Structure 1
């Protein structure tokens, strides 16, 4: 058996797994068929490709066969179709592809894909001028949107996809592969909106680097957060970290350590730390501190009063510019792997991707979106089982 040199790391998993299975079935391998598991073998290979693969495999295993419907506004994008094929094959979700229906079908045929999916063209969908227009007009009428405006906005696939989620016709939204980030964020905010219990929406990255997992925020949403918003960013990012099995230690980063530079005290961050402790009394958080203080235990010896020892795993930057610069530098110079931005604080599950993101990243973000939908189900089930608490 000859395994071709992989041009895509996924080929290592698929090709090697198929070869191993064939060898077992033909009796040329030392492992008997009854002891061989194709899924276990594939997952072992994924683990060798890095921590991100291993972490996301755990998420994927949790969300498989839950039959959640995830809508993709760029349904006629080649990367989205390839991702949808993997999502359907692995039973991560049921993909809904938006775009010209004939074009999507033709692309599927040209790429030799055959999987179950739904496709709709917002321009010709009867819901656009009917129920969806009524719902969007009702939501935005006090924001200057007329009924005609609502029908026009819903021709845009991000608006239509967002309304599908808001109306319960889809369980989650994943988009952004062919649009600017803000051009996708705006429709979901206007149509779905932030959660009732969220002070703000936040966007964080899961970073795997040198065998470690870090969470970095906020690199995508809040440009220059005030103290209350910084506190919310810390609390919400810690929630995301816990969902990935990480016990959060939060460092609020700044140019000085605990206000050591009197000329330019970081009052905003000091206030944020205190607010975060009120929002979540169980949260391990400290700051303001410099990055080396947050990550180097030797430097921490100079500050024995710190709330934690050892490297922090949740880093909250003072503003969007700093966080965006840091995550891009880590990615380019330190070969760090990024998963995100992971949105937290939406009323319904929404995850966005960037233009440069590949198929694997789209699959990962869809799996995270399904996990969000599952948590939403659990929340409502809890309320139903405990009506006295609602």
Structure 2
């Protein structure tokens, strides 16, 4: 009877303690936290039999809105310990709750949705609290607690740089955090790049563009039909009027005629009629987006979500030229080590000259990323033992580099253990590497692609890329079906390269 007319009920008792009649008597939009375990005071199914406007939470993982102490106590203690707090006071507990409330309103990573078998998670009646599977909890929550501990005078070791603290927390669950933070910081401080998101109607692309804009990494441009983009944004829980993101529709763009004329002049001696080019610009967003970059209406571009790498690259290359040697460079982060692997996407069976050029291009790119390149040419053989045709190509590449004036160390042909283990190198005192290699040039695309995908599939490493290097303009092609985080990473690298930033 005490519950009649109540809008909120919090249960921590036993199964059946809340009846359907009680729920029916509650005011509009009642909030029901039935947290008895393993059986809640009333099940969501029972609530839904009498109310269609209730917001329901339980302690069960098989229902939406699981209230679980794992959402709070590890991160509450993490923040308290990191400032050596004398106590955990009421204000710190409130800060933890407010942090969880704020996180629930953020866009949900695809990795979390995967844990729920792809169920869409966006702030609303079925998602008012973050998932215990959310990998952001470890770096999102503790800074709130640490800051309030400092503000209320219970911290004995204040944190001077809260952003650096947040980054250090993120590195514990994401090996790519340190590298990406360095790149992201350089992009934020550099000239703002206009980044074309070519497949702008895709919900995952809209979410990535939104996050890219929110992080102040540049100015995203979505290519697609405005009505459909707005619709898909709304389904993702984003109010498009708040996005402030430019939309370009190829068919109605005032730049359409210029792009067609320019591209026709470029392709007319390659077998293309004007109507072919008009169709390409009107109907294919890769052509339109690449033309925007080529004609100076944007600075860089990211694509690939809806089609395979080779198809996307072929389309982009009809619009943009290769400035020098083009390669695919993958970044592998494992056990505190960062490795750059080439070529993982372009050259199927490179000859000796191509291998040498791949090494030069990879080393140059790695240096621009702020690292000192040490190049190892990978092989199944060690300095010719056992012999083989691929090994001879590698040895010839070494001879070519010997005749060039390069500014990096290189060695080969060698297997991975010699490149990465100083103890293994002890048997080869003539080796020229002064430390472990960080640039691995693979003898063929199959070994490059298989090795990087294998370690990623086994969960033994985080792999970024392959990054596309060597086009005259900055374009990145993400894997088919890429996640939001993968798109953001590629867009960030596109902006980094497009701005010509060098560490």
C-alpha distance in 2 between matches for 1:276 and 1:56:
31
| CA deviations over 1:242-296 (Å, ceiling 9, x no partner) | 2232211111111211123346572211121232344552221111112222222
Matched, 1:8 2:141: no
C-alpha distance in 2 between matches for 1:156 and 1:263:
44
Deviating more after overlay: 35-44 vs 235-244: 35-44
2:383 is aligned, of 258, 261, 266, to 258
Aligned to 1:289: 414
Secondary structure of residue in 2 paired with 1:266: helix
C-alpha distance in 2 between matches for 1:87 and 1:351:
15
Secondary structure of residue in 2 paired with 1:375: coil
Contact 2:465 / 2:490 at 8 angstroms: preserved in 1?
Answer: yes
Q: Structure 1 residue 101: deviation in Å?
A: 0.9
| CA deviations over 1:365-386 (Å, ceiling 9, x no partner) | 111111111117x8xxxxxxxx
Structure 2 CA distance for partners of 1:127 and 1:271, relative to 1, 3 Å: same
Aligned to 2:259: 132
Aligned to 1:158: 286
C-alpha distance in 1 between matches for 2:289 and 2:376:
36
2:474 is aligned, of 331, 349, 372, to 349
Contact 2:202 / 2:232 at 8 angstroms: preserved in 1?
Answer: no
Secondary structure of residue in 1 paired with 2:216: coil
Secondary structure of residue in 2 paired with 1:261: coil
Q: Structure 1 residue 39: deviation in Å?
A: 3.5
C-alpha distance in 2 between matches for 1:38 and 1:310:
34
Matched, 1:90 2:218: no
Aligned to 2:18: none
Matched, 1:181 2:309: yes
Give the gaps of 5 or more residues in structure 2: 1-95, 101-129
C-alpha distance in 1 between matches for 2:297 and 2:388:
55
Structure 2 CA distance for partners of 1:145 and 1:375, relative to 1, 3 Å: same
Contact 2:398 / 2:412 at 8 angstroms: preserved in 1?
Answer: yes
Q: Structure 1 residue 324: deviation in Å?
A: 0.6
Give the gaps of 5 or more residues in structure 1: 379-390
Aligned to 2:24: none
Matched, 1:271 2:396: yes
Q: Structure 1 residue 183: deviation in Å?
A: 1.6
C-alpha distance in 2 between matches for 1:164 and 1:353:
19
Matched, 1:47 2:177: no
Aligned to 1:326: 451
Q: Structure 1 residue 6: deviation in Å?
A: 4.2
Q: Structure 1 residue 239: deviation in Å?
A: 1.7
Contact 1:209 / 1:334 at 8 angstroms: preserved in 2?
Answer: no
Contact 2:332 / 2:338 at 8 angstroms: preserved in 1?
Answer: yes
Matched, 1:58 2:185: no
Contact 1:83 / 1:362 at 8 angstroms: preserved in 2?
Answer: yes
Question: TM (normalized to structure 1)?
Answer: 0.87
Matched, 1:141 2:268: yes
RMSD between superposed Cα atoms in Å: 2.4
Aligned to 1:388: none
| CA deviations over 1:129-167 (Å, ceiling 9, x no partner) | x11011111111221112111111112001110111000
Q: Which has the higher helix share?
A: 1
Contact 1:132 / 1:163 at 8 angstroms: preserved in 2?
Answer: yes
Structure 2 CA distance for partners of 1:84 and 1:250, relative to 1, 3 Å: same
C-alpha distance in 2 between matches for 1:318 and 1:251:
11
Contact 2:376 / 2:410 at 8 angstroms: preserved in 1?
Answer: yes
C-alpha distance in 1 between matches for 2:146 and 2:306:
37
Q: Structure 1 residue 328: deviation in Å?
A: 0.8
Q: Structure 1 residue 53: deviation in Å?
A: 0.6
C-alpha distance in 1 between matches for 2:452 and 2:360:
20
How many residue pairs match? The answer is 370
Aligned to 1:381: none
Rg larger in 1 or in 2? 2
Contact 2:203 / 2:233 at 8 angstroms: preserved in 1?
Answer: no
Structure 2 CA distance for partners of 1:278 and 1:209, relative to 1, 3 Å: same
C-alpha distance in 1 between matches for 2:375 and 2:388:
25
Structure 2 CA distance for partners of 1:186 and 1:29, relative to 1, 3 Å: farther
C-alpha distance in 2 between matches for 1:29 and 1:220:
55
Contact 1:300 / 1:309 at 8 angstroms: preserved in 2?
Answer: no
Using CA pairs under 8 Å that are at least 6 residues apart, name the structure with larger relative contact order, 1 or 2.
Answer: 1
Contact 1:178 / 1:355 at 8 angstroms: preserved in 2?
Answer: yes
C-alpha distance in 1 between matches for 2:297 and 2:184:
23
C-alpha distance in 1 between matches for 2:155 and 2:271:
68
Question: TM (normalized to structure 2)?
Answer: 0.69
Secondary structure of residue in 2 paired with 1:192: coil
Secondary structure of residue in 2 paired with 1:287: strand
